[in-house]
Amino acid sequence: MAVRPIVIWPDPRLREPTRPVAEVTDEIRALYRDLVDTMYAYDGVGIAAIQIGVPLRMFLIDATVAGRGGGDPVAFINPEIVSVSGEKEKSDEGCLSFPGIYVAIERPHRARLAATGLDAAAFEAEGAGLFARAMLHEHDHLTGKLLVDFVGPLKKRQIRRKLERQAEPAAGHVHGEDCDHDHDHGDRAHTGTLARAGRSNL
Ligand SMILES: [Zn+2]
């Protein structure tokens, strides 16, 4: 079990094609545990394997968000979208690969996905609100679709500048109250504290 580094946009690895998981092996179960540790270390409620640089079709959703009342995060292996509602909902969305960035995105209010679980059994999950949003956000990661694909070119440049500032090496200057960057000096594990109520990192 280990916390793995999160791949931050615009790292091209986030656009890599993903491969299906052939079989739920010990390796996949180890990947699941690393994803759990990493998701919680960075205050996420969902994470896709490609966000730690593993281009497999697999993601996790926090059990509370998934309506299971707590427990281990739910693994979605080789997920497919079965259906989405015509009714839509706009809400701020964060992503572990865009620390501190939130984008208002309109998505279907409900979604139903089919997937394989960590026990290798097929299952379907239907959710509304944040659960639907989380499933669709993570499914987007498997097709290389990211938050910045929902915004215009100006906003995209702003996001790039902000992330580039955050990525600057700490050695350049002495950090202090006058720093214009708004995160905890090189430690991305703290970015979750930037999340406001109702905003979730996926
Ligand atoms: Zn994400």
- CA-based angle 153:155:158, to the nearest 5? 110
The answer to whether 164 and 157 have CB atoms below 8 angstroms apart is no
The answer to whether 43 and 193 have CB atoms below 8 angstroms apart is yes
Task: Kindly report the pTM of this predicted structure.
Answer: 0.86
pLDDT digits (tens, 9 = 90+) for 164-181: 998 876 555 555 655 555
Query: Of all helices (H) and strands (E), which one includes residue 77?
Result: strand 74-84
Distance CA 143, CA 57 (A): 9
Tell me how far the alpha carbon of residue 137 lies from the centroid of ligand 1, in angstroms. Answer: 6
The answer on pLDDT for 190 being more than 50 is: no
Q: Given 87, 126, 138, 177, which residue is catalytic?
A: 138
138 belongs to the catalytic site: yes
Long-range contacts (CB closer than 8 Å, 24 or more residues apart) made by 145-152? 146/9, 146/14, 146/15, 146/95, 146/97, 146/98, 147/9, 147/93, 147/95, 147/98, 147/101, 147/103, 147/105, 148/9, 148/98, 148/103, 150/103, 150/105, 151/103
Tell me how far the alpha carbon of residue 85 lies from the centroid of ligand 1, in angstroms. Answer: 21
- CA-based angle 149:135:197, to the nearest 5? 80
pLDDT digits (tens, 9 = 90+) for 125-159: 999 999 999 999 999 999 999 999 999 999 999 99
Residue 157: the pLDDT is 97
Residues, Cβ < 5 Å to ion ligand 1: 95, 202
Distance CA 184, CA 43 (A): 14
Distance CA 52, CA 191 (A): 16
Count CA atoms closer than 13 A to 102's CA, side-chain side. 15
